[in-house]
Structure formats: structure tokens, C-alpha cells
């Protein structure tokens, strides 16, 4: 995950190739002087291996989960992405078109900031309360 420069406009774009049906996901960065740069997103199989055969669009399946994870890891980092990618899949990727999906970095980060933090480890909290 790169540190975000607010002067850069970042959009995540996933597209289906009409010839082989494969979905490619990229990060598009546009600078203030309108210089465009694409970088391919890693599926992050090292974190969760839902779909070693690739990304998918418009559904609840494993390829959609892998796409959601890839976008979130890039946008907000792996720790928080692991907690949120299934919800992001349901709320964003599953509702995408069959052939293309786009979301801005800003929209992803704003969405993630509104999500509740995971609960603390209940056993640790219970154990601490017993020690009082």
C-alpha cells in the first residue's frame, strides 16, 4: 500500500476480457498534470487463497472475494482488509456489472472508516477482569 498523495486521483478498475473471460484488476493513478499510470493489483493469495484462478465480477463467489481483498489491501492495508473484505465484496463487488467495476480510493477509504472495528479478544477482556 502506497502512502496516498491527495493531489493524485486513484481509481480501482476491474475489467473482463471479452476474448478469454479473465478479469484483470488495476490501480489507475492520475496526477494533477493528467499523467496516467496503471499498476496491476496483486490478488494477495498470500493472505487468503479464495481464487487462485483469478478475479471475478458481479457475484458472491471466490473470484469476487479475491478482488475485494486485493482492492482493500491496496487501499487500507492488509490488517484492516482481512476484517472487511467479505463485507466489501457484498456491498461493492457483488453489485458490479458483469464486465467492469470501478471504485475510487477515496470511496473505499471513506467506506472503511465507517465500518465498526472488530471486537477485542473476549478471553483477554475476561481474563483481565478476573485479575482485579
9-45 per-position pLDDT tens digit: 999 999 999 999 999 999 999 988 889 999 999 999 9
- The answer to whether residue 21 is domain-embedded is yes
More confident residue, 35 or 7: 35
For residue 127, pLDDT over 90 is answered with: no
- The answer to whether residue 129 is domain-embedded is no
Does pTM top 0.75 for this prediction?
Answer: yes
- The answer to whether residue 122 is domain-embedded is no
- Give the contacts of 68 (CB within 8 A, at least 6 positions apart): 85, 86, 88, 89, 92, 93
**What tens digit of pLDDT does each residue of 61-75 get?**
999 999 999 999 999
- The answer to whether residue 14 is domain-embedded is yes
- pLDDT, residue 118, reads 65
- The answer to whether residue 121 is domain-embedded is no
- The answer to whether residue 123 is domain-embedded is no
- Give the contacts of 73 (CB within 8 A, at least 6 positions apart): 1, 42, 44, 47, 81
- The answer to whether residue 4 is domain-embedded is no
Domains identified in the chain, total number: 1
Residue 96 lies in domain: 9-114
- The answer to whether residue 35 is domain-embedded is yes
Amino acid at each position: 500500500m502506497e502512502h496516498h498523495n491527495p493531489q493524485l486521483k486513484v481509481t480501482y478498475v476491474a475489467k473482463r476480457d471479452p476474448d478469454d473471460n479473465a478479469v484483470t484488476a488495476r490501480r489507475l493513478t492520475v496526477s494533477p498534470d493528467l499523467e496516467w499510470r496503471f499498476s496491476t493489483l496483486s490478488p494477495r493469495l498470500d493472505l487468503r487463497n479464495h481464487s487462485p484462478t483469478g478475479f471475478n465480477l458481479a457475484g458472491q463467489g471466490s473470484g469476487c472475494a479475491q478482488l475485494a481483498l486485493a482492492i482493500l489491501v491496496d487501499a487500507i492495508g492488509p490488517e484492516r482488509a482481512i476484517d472487511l473484505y467479505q463485507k466489501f465484496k457484498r456491498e461493492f463487488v457483488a453489485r458490479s456489472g458483469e464486465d467492469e467495476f470501478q471504485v475510487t480510493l477515496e470511496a473505499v477509504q471513506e467506506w472503511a472508516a465507517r465500518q465498526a472495528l472488530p471486537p477485542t479478544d473476549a478471553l483477554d477482556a475476561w481474563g483481565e477482569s478476573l485479575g482485579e
